[in-house]
Amino acid sequence: MRKTKFLPFMTRAGFAALAFLVSAAAAPNALPPKPRTPDHSLNGLFASLGKASSEDEAKPIEQQIEELFLQSNSASIDLLMTRAAAALQAGDNDTAKKLLISVTDIAPNYAEGWHQRAKMEAAANDDTHALVSFQKTVTLNPREFMAQVELGDMLAEYGQKAAALASYRKALALDPHFEGLDKRVEKLSRDVEGEKI
């Protein structure tokens, strides 16, 4: 059974925007600023991801998107997620499990709570619960390409090739340069749909 990594998280965004607002208020007669480039909003990052020309160019964009996905907009949830990550790093899987279950109980619509719970369950070989948690993740956030790939991997392991292919294709549409995914799609396409004439 593969092992999945618990992503580092709890980064904060918005300080640059706040600084801009303060400076704009202090200088009302200043010329309007040029539009920000690049666009670091979620939609902007996905646009950049779609235009990336290689895996190396895509990776930092993938990381920025995952960091935005991890933002819960709740101080209490952020704290629980931070403690869960610390527990996992310390090898205290029981505590991490309890904390992540608390996250999904308190914030059932927070997709990354389910995602991190799914990864922990998969690492513990609890595939039954991991499948449910991965499916909840992508239902709540269909653009969670990492979870789409992880769900696809698990479905493929259990011989559900058509469902795995569908999940892989959703991820590939979002992230055309996800490492190794094009080869997985190509192989499963042959298995599910046969050789193209």
How long is the chain? 197
Q: What is the average per-residue pLDDT within 155-162? A: 96
Residue ranges and CATH numbers for the domains of the chain are: 15-193 (1.25.40.10)
> Is pLDDT of 183 > 70?
yes
Q: What is the average per-residue pLDDT within 5-24? A: 40
Q: What is the average per-residue pLDDT within 40-67? A: 94
pLDDT digits (tens, 9 = 90+) for 113-156: 999 999 999 999 999 999 999 999 999 999 999 999 999 999 99
- Report DSSP letters for the chain, one per residue: --------------HHHHHHHHHHHH-TTSPPPPPPSS--SHHHHHHHHHH--SHHHHHHHHHHHHHHHH--S-HHHHHHHHHHHHHHHTT-HHHHHHHHHHHHHH-TT-HHHHHHHHHHHHHTT-HHHHHHHHHHHHHH-TT-HHHHHHHHHHHHHTT-HHHHHHHHHHHHHH-TT-TTHHHHHHHHHHHHH----
Q: Is the peptide bond before 33 cis (omega within 30 degrees of 0)?
A: no
> Is pLDDT of 101 > 70?
yes
Amino acid found at 102: S
Sign of CA dihedral 119, 120, 126, 129: negative
Rounded to two decimals, the pTM is 0.77
Q: What is the pLDDT of residue 14?
A: 40
Percentage, residues of the chain above pLDDT 90: 77
Contact assessment for residue 52 and residue 178, using Cβ atoms and an 8 Å cutoff: no
Q: Of the ranges 28-32, 44-48, 158-162, which one carries the lowest mean pLDDT score?
A: 28-32
- Alpha carbon distance 44, 25 (integer Å): 26
Band (pLDDT 50/70/90 cuts) for residue 194 is: confident
Q: What is the pLDDT of residue 193?
A: 87
